[in-house]
Amino acid sequence: MVTTPTNPIVRKPSKVEGLKERSSFLREPVASELLLDTTHFSEDAIQILKFHGSYQQDNRDNRIKGQEKDYQFMLRTRSPGGFIPPQLYLTFDRLADEYGNQTIRATTRQGFQLHGVLKKNLKAAIAAIVRNMGSTLGACGDVNRNVMAPPAPFRNRPEYQYAYEYANTIADLLTPQTGAYYEIWLDGEKAISAEEHPEVVAARQRNGNGTIVHDTEEPLYGTHYMPRKFKVCVTVPGDNSVDLFSQDVSLVVITNSQGELEGFNVYAGGGLGRTHNKEETFPRVADPIGYVEKADVYDLIKAILATQRDYGDRTDRRHARMKYLIEDWGVDKFRTTVEQYFGKSLQPFKPLPEWKYLDFLGWHDQGDGKQFVGISVQNGRIKNDGAFQLKTALREIVQRFNLPILLTPSQDVILYDIDPAQQAEIQQILDRSGIKRETEIDPLERYSMACPALPTCGLATTESERAIPGILERIRRLLVSVGLPDESFIVRMTGCPNGCARPYLAELAFVGNGPNVYQIWLGASPNQTRLAKLYLDKMAIDDLETTLEPLFVYFRDERSPAESFGDFCDRLGFDALRTFADAYGSIAPVADTITEAEAEAETAAELVAPINDLDTALSTTGAVAAKVRRRVTVREDVYTRLQAIAAQQGKPISYLATEAIEAYLKTL
Ligand code: SRM
Ligand code: SF4
């Protein structure tokens, strides 16, 4: 039996704890304020509204001093394993046009978000989602969040089926039980949802050793719910599509030689959120905790939940995630406490193969005669934009073929259960809608992620989703100019340090640190098993080329064969990277002003046009950059032609430019 937790230093619980306590299990003040003819909720109601899957936001592009904010709401789904049935997809498509900002956004946790919903339309939007097999309950707030699983619908690989199945049953087990959701949004009408698995129902009622809070509407959470959000994923050995090291709890299915489920390896204590200039906040990778038989998995999840529920920090929300409990206690004390709630010992962790990062894009056999196709969605934003008609195309395909969707942890979508006879027609719709195949996309884009940031996110300090396309183009140009035209690595970007696009597990990450200023994080492994480290605290986005060029040149010259950029940065260490970058800069500082060489070049020929700007800057000596380096700037159209020819001939642009200038100089 677990004793009541004692905390030697008694500190005041945070304000949100009081709000949860007074909310009457998530009813108030949301229920009352929803009835008011207002554009927005009070600060107190906003906190409770989150548990219902909605955030109050305002369009930050429309802020005008002295005027009321342009209030609007974001709605997020709870969709375990990323499953979106066709009927729900079509509902989202309609709601985005009717109440939202005409876009649907696939999130980094396999959910969908609608942005731009007005308060007066919230109830109709949530009710429509629930009536069409969806839910937003518990998509935000201090509860278990959307449970992730690899999005591949392989029918002939039982481990994938188990991961998906348990993501769903664990999501059911940990769903808030309060009646508030249906009372408020559906006038008490109970959702038409699939029957819960009997084992889940039994597990929710089984007391264990103090896992249950008695006589409340919430047997697992109690009146105060969790101290903070709680994130779970279930995956299969080797498949790290879910970024398992970033989760509070990660389960890995273990099967026997017949492919039957035996149990789960358990990791705990991952989490990425941090705050600038607060050293006590940090990203953390999950630790292996042990192995559990399949029959005990729900009791173990309850035991971990109860440990964090009862011992997690409820006084300081910046220190309230389970990663801090594990960090402060150490893994052994954490495991021992979990075992007390669990009532038995965890078994030793089973050996696992190496992890791989997978995105499942393109066409694949499901293993049952059907096919699935993964479609890349830049930053998860499903929209129509000129010749690019992704939203229309997905609606047409889902309508015509009644296909279900799986959302991926990398903000992409997978259509599945496709009859091979339909493949050509579906591909033709995608082609005519301007949707590129995964092989036609620059891998920098394919493997990148950015969070929404401005204009909807209230915590953003700078741009992310809207900035990343241009930034990836600049990185590609830089790679071409230093002679690495085919290089690629994982780039992630966020508008603040909270880590929504999991930047601390990227090989190169931009983390917003003020308007147009980013921290640079480097050195995570390409399979997301090692954290990146902070390389630079403030980089003005205009300095991207000057910051990254030395790193790319060093990488080009000193990498081991087939070494990735993240592994290279980690192996060399930041002292070496900084020393090289400093020396590189002092040999040939890149200046905004015209250098001697540029002044000469300017007078030399029309080929080298008057200075444009750093975005189109061209290093003339990429191949020998560490020795002699001068910068010449050319017109955008000349640059584009050079770039195309360089790509055709497989030569660095700088090499071609030098040759052209040399040839011209000879004619003088
Ligand atoms: Fe997040 C808060 C968007 C995944 C860590 N996140 C927010 C809010 C709600 C801003 C706010 O609190 O006002 C953002 C809404 C922006 C908008 O306009 O839509 C937001 N987070 C997102 C999404 C949509 C990003 C995306 O590009 O897809 C992701 C929604 C996932 C979902 O479907 O549930 C999203 N957020 C994440 C992840 C990644 C993950 O879960 O795998 C993380 C890092 C992992 C982690 O939790 O440790 C993450 N979001 C945060 C945090 C920092 C939490 C912390 O422990 O410190 C906040 C701020 C907070 O909770 O106080 C936050
Ligand atoms: Fe907003 Fe920051 Fe999350 Fe980006 S990382 S969505 S800016 S909270």
As a whole number of angstroms, the distance between CA 656 and CA 23 comes to: 68
As a whole number of angstroms, the distance between CA 450 and CA 479 comes to: 20
- Report residue 542's pLDDT band, with 50, 70 and 90 as the boundaries: very high
Question: What are 122's two structure tokens?
Answer: 């919230």
**373 and 314 Cβ atoms separated by less than 8 Å:** no
Single-letter amino acid, residue 204: R
State the fold for domain 442-586.
Sulfite Reductase Hemoprotein; domain 1 (3.30.413)
- 533 given a catalytic annotation: no
442-586 and 1-14+143-179+186-358 share a CATH fold:
yes
Question: For position 590, what pLDDT does the model report?
Answer: 39
Catalytic residue among 157, 274, 323, 500: 500
Give 502's contacts (C-beta < 8 A, 6+ positions apart).
108, 243, 246, 272, 449, 492, 528
State the fold for domain 1-14+143-179+186-358.
Sulfite Reductase Hemoprotein; domain 1 (3.30.413)
Residue nearest atom 21 in ligand 1 by C-alpha distance: 500
Q: Give backbone dihedrals phi and psi of 381, rounded to 5 degrees, phi first.
A: -85, 110
- 569 given a catalytic annotation: no
Give 379's contacts (C-beta < 8 A, 6+ positions apart).
105, 411, 449, 450, 452, 465, 468
The pTM of this model reads 0.88
- Report residue 11's pLDDT band, with 50, 70 and 90 as the boundaries: confident
Counting ligands in written order, which one lies closest to the CA of residue 451? 1
User: Which one, of 537, 633, 538, 551, lies nearest residue 584 by Cα?
Assistant: 551
Q: Report the atom number in ligand 1 closest to the C-alpha of 106.
A: 28
Residue nearest atom 50 in ligand 1 by C-alpha distance: 500
Catalytic residue among 78, 109, 145, 446: 145
- Tell me which DSSP letter residue 455 carries: T
Q: Report the atom number in ligand 1 closest to the C-alpha of 108.
A: 28
Q: Report the atom number in ligand 1 closest to the C-alpha of 148.
A: 42
Question: For position 207, what pLDDT does the model report?
Answer: 84
Averaged pLDDT for residues 48-74: 97
Counting ligands in written order, which one lies closest to the CA of residue 511? 2
Q: Which helix (H) or strand (E) holds 75?
A: strand 71-76
As a whole number of angstroms, the distance between CA 427 and CA 433 comes to: 10
Residue nearest atom 63 in ligand 1 by C-alpha distance: 498
Å from CA of 452 to ligand 2 middle = 7
Percent of the chain surpassing pLDDT 90 = 83
Exposure class string for 376-393: b at 16+ Cβ within 10 A, else e? bbbbbbbbbeeeebbbeb
pLDDT tens per residue, range 367-405:
999 999 999 999 999 999 999 999 999 999 999 999 999
Give 332's contacts (C-beta < 8 A, 6+ positions apart).
none
- Report residue 467's pLDDT band, with 50, 70 and 90 as the boundaries: very high
Å from CA of 457 to ligand 1 middle = 10
Q: Which one of 500, 510, 521, 528 would you pick to mutate in the ligand 1 pocket, going by the greatest count of ligand atoms within 8 A of its CB? A: 500
User: Which one, of 68, 241, 221, 89, lies nearest residue 152 by Cα?
Assistant: 241
Å from CA of 498 to ligand 1 middle = 7
Catalytic residue among 229, 302, 323, 446: 229
Averaged pLDDT for residues 296-310: 98
- 229 given a catalytic annotation: yes
Å from CA of 509 to ligand 2 middle = 14
Give 327's contacts (C-beta < 8 A, 6+ positions apart).
269, 284
- Angle ∠(96,100,104) on CA atoms, nearest 5: 45
**514 and 521 Cβ atoms separated by less than 8 Å:** no
**262 and 293 Cβ atoms separated by less than 8 Å:** yes
Catalytic residue among 140, 233, 457, 569: 457
Give the residues across from 382 on adjacent strands.
Answer: 104
Is the predicted pLDDT of residue 302 greater than 80, yes or no?
A: yes
Å from CA of 511 to ligand 2 middle = 9
As a whole number of angstroms, the distance between CA 564 and CA 101 comes to: 39
- 333 given a catalytic annotation: no
- Tell me which DSSP letter residue 207 carries: -
**155 and 366 Cβ atoms separated by less than 8 Å:** yes
- Tell me which DSSP letter residue 552 carries: H
Q: What does the CA dihedral 123, 125, 126, 127 come to, rounded to 10 degrees?
A: 80
**446 and 376 Cβ atoms separated by less than 8 Å:** yes
- 233 given a catalytic annotation: no
Percent of the chain surpassing pLDDT 70 = 89
Q: Residue 591's Cα: distance from chain center in Å? A: 36
Give 181's contacts (C-beta < 8 A, 6+ positions apart).
26, 52, 137
Single-letter amino acid, residue 52: H
As a whole number of angstroms, the distance between CA 535 and CA 451 comes to: 21
Å from CA of 564 to ligand 1 middle = 28
User: Phi-psi region for residue 362, left (φ > 0), alpha (ψ -120 to 50) or beta?
Assistant: left
As a whole number of angstroms, the distance between CA 99 and CA 101 comes to: 7
Å from CA of 500 to ligand 2 middle = 6
Q: Which helix (H) or strand (E) holds 446?
A: helix 443-446
The dihedral built from the CA positions of residue 381, 386, 389 and 391, taken in this order, carries a sign that is: positive
As a whole number of angstroms, the distance between CA 149 and CA 163 comes to: 6
Cα 240 to Cα 126, 176, 232, 314, 345: the distances in Å are 32, 28, 14, 31, 27
Counting ligands in written order, which one lies closest to the CA of residue 109? 1
- 496 given a catalytic annotation: yes
Q: Which one of 498, 504, 510, 528 would you pick to mutate in the ligand 1 pocket, going by the greatest count of ligand atoms within 8 A of its CB? A: 498
Residue nearest atom 45 in ligand 1 by C-alpha distance: 272
As a whole number of angstroms, the distance between CA 376 and CA 362 comes to: 9
Averaged pLDDT for residues 317-328: 98
Give 562's contacts (C-beta < 8 A, 6+ positions apart).
none
CATH number of 362-440: 3.90.480.10
Residue nearest atom 3 in ligand 2 by C-alpha distance: 500
Question: What are 233's two structure tokens?
Answer: 């994923």
Mapped onto helix, strand or coil, the DSSP state of residue 294 is helix
Averaged pLDDT for residues 561-584: 97
As a whole number of angstroms, the distance between CA 494 and CA 496 comes to: 6
Averaged pLDDT for residues 7-27: 88
Å from CA of 280 to ligand 1 middle = 19
Q: Residue 563's Cα: distance from chain center in Å? A: 25
Q: Report the atom number in ligand 1 closest to the C-alpha of 320.
A: 56
Q: Which one of 231, 276, 456, 494 would you pick to mutate in the ligand 2 pocket, going by the greatest count of ligand atoms within 8 A of its CB? A: 494
Question: For position 639, what pLDDT does the model report?
Answer: 76
Q: Report the atom number in ligand 1 closest to the C-alpha of 146.
A: 34
Q: Which residues line ligand 2 (CB under 6 A)?
A: 451-453, 457, 459-460, 464, 494-496, 498-500
As a whole number of angstroms, the distance between CA 518 and CA 541 comes to: 7
As a whole number of angstroms, the distance between CA 80 and CA 406 comes to: 10
Å from CA of 74 to ligand 2 middle = 13
Is the predicted pLDDT of residue 128 greater than 70, yes or no?
A: yes
Catalytic residue among 20, 50, 314, 496: 496
Single-letter amino acid, residue 401: F
Q: Report the atom number in ligand 2 closest to the C-alpha of 501.
A: 5
Å from CA of 232 to ligand 2 middle = 20
pLDDT tens per residue, range 147-188:
999 999 999 999 999 999 999 999 999 999 999 999 999 998
Å from CA of 229 to ligand 1 middle = 10
Q: Which residues line ligand 1 (CB under 6 A)?
A: 55, 57, 74, 76, 107-109, 111, 113, 139, 145-146, 231, 243, 246, 271-273, 321, 380, 411, 451-452, 456-459, 498-502
Mapped onto helix, strand or coil, the DSSP state of residue 540 is strand
As a whole number of angstroms, the distance between CA 564 and CA 527 comes to: 10
**628 and 584 Cβ atoms separated by less than 8 Å:** no
Mapped onto helix, strand or coil, the DSSP state of residue 356 is strand
Q: Please tell me the total number of residues recorded for the chain in this structure.
A: 668
- Tell me which DSSP letter residue 111 carries: -
User: Phi-psi region for residue 453, left (φ > 0), alpha (ψ -120 to 50) or beta?
Assistant: left
Single-letter amino acid, residue 324: Y
- Report residue 652's pLDDT band, with 50, 70 and 90 as the boundaries: low
Give the residues across from 267 on adjacent strands.
Answer: 250, 288
Q: Report the atom number in ligand 1 closest to the C-alpha of 111.
A: 33
Instruction: Delimit the domains of the chain by residue range.
Output: 1-14+143-179+186-358, 362-440, 442-586, 587-668
Higher-scoring residue by pLDDT: 642, 364: 364
